[in-house]
Structure 1
Amino acid sequence: MSITLCLCLVEGNTTANAFPVDINKDQLVGHLKEAIFHGDELKLWKVEIPGDHDDHLRNLSLQDQYELLAINDIGDYWPTSPPKKHIHVIVKLPLLSLEEALSCIPPPISYSPDCTTSKTTTKVNGNPPASVQYWGDFFDKMDQFRFDQQPIFERPQFIPDKVVNNEEDVRVAIDVK
């Protein structure tokens, strides 16, 4: 008998980014992980969040949920069909090394015609930066370093197609979750 996990969702996304996965009840959770991505790199949690409750997703704590173990059958977690129009599985992507995290390039920011720009340089806690690098030179400078490949960073999630009206909008557009 086939079970349809109608809605899987990558942690940090909204229900608009949910995707379906069809899998048999007698298959292992490891098979579900492989159907989504490289199974050894994912963690999955069982949830039941109505599809119209994005606010639950913003405040979701995975510590309160059941982590799906790769050695268990799907039927162990869903003996009957899961409810329709609900998120059933939250997918946590693998962590990134420092080098991988730094190579995540934010999408371009477009400025509104009404935007007022500042003539001052960006300041950190009121102090001017020690140095400013052009984006093109940044990667050359970065290549000089030896990075620890230990994965400890979550993949940043950027807001695509953000239109900027003021300086605070820039902070919001490049805010990583």
Structure 2
Amino acid sequence: MHAIRLFCLVKGEGTMRAFAITINKNETISDLKKKIRLDQPRAFAKTDSKDLKLWMVNVRDDGQDEIRYNVELMPTREIEEYWSQTPEKNRIHVVVERLTRR
């Protein structure tokens, strides 16, 4: 499988704070959560990767689009199930939400 680059954004932050994650299409969303947590240690210092909720979005990187949280990414699914084609350029592909423990 080949790798793809997904631009991610922490929920509530502006698009200028987006970051890229490279992942193989045969890896899972759970693997993506782990990579995000490792890539952004300060942002998720007190958050386990399982406590991240990921949303598939397709938002322009200039902040002109409204983000709609319609597709929650399931941890057991492979990346290819959501991105069978190369993701569009100049876009945010994933919004990361921290879940609060009760």
TM-score, structure 2 normalization: 0.83
User: What is the match of residue 24 of structure 2?
Assistant: 24
**AA of the residue aligned to 1:14:** G
CA distance in 2, matches of 1:70, 1:54: 29
- Higher-Rg structure is 1
**AA of the residue aligned to 2:71:** Y
Unaligned runs of 5+ in 1: 97-149, 151-177
CA RMSD of aligned residues (A): 1.4
Question: Structure 1 residue 3 and structure 2 residue 8: aligned?
Answer: no
CA distance in 2, matches of 1:86, 1:55: 10
Question: Cα distance 1:4–1:55, how it changes in 2: closer, same or farther (>3 A)?
Answer: closer
User: What is the match of residue 92 of structure 1?
Assistant: 97
CA distance in 2, matches of 1:61, 1:2: 26
Aligned ranges for residues 17-96 of structure 1 at < 5 Å? 17-37=17-37, 38-54=48-64, 56=66, 60-62=67-69, 65-95=70-100
Unaligned runs of 5+ in 2: 38-47
**AA of the residue aligned to 2:99:** P
Aligned length: 91
TM-score, structure 1 normalization: 0.49
Percent sequence identity over aligned pairs:
36
Contact 1:30 1:71 in 2 (8 A): yes
CA distance in 2, matches of 1:50, 1:61: 12
CA distance in 2, matches of 1:4, 1:19: 10
Contact 1:15 1:54 in 2 (8 A): no
**AA of the residue aligned to 1:31:** D
Q: Which has the higher strand share?
A: 2
Q: What's the secondary structure of 2:84's corresponding residue?
A: coil
The runs of 4+ residues in structure 1 deviating greater than 2 Å are: none
Aligned ranges for residues 94-133 of structure 1 at < 5 Å? 94-95=99-100
Where relative contact order (Cα < 8 A, 6+ residues apart) is larger, the structure is 2
**AA of the residue aligned to 2:16:** A
Report how far residue 94 of structure 1 moved.
2.2
CA distance in 2, matches of 1:61, 1:89: 11
CA distance in 2, matches of 1:71, 1:55: 29
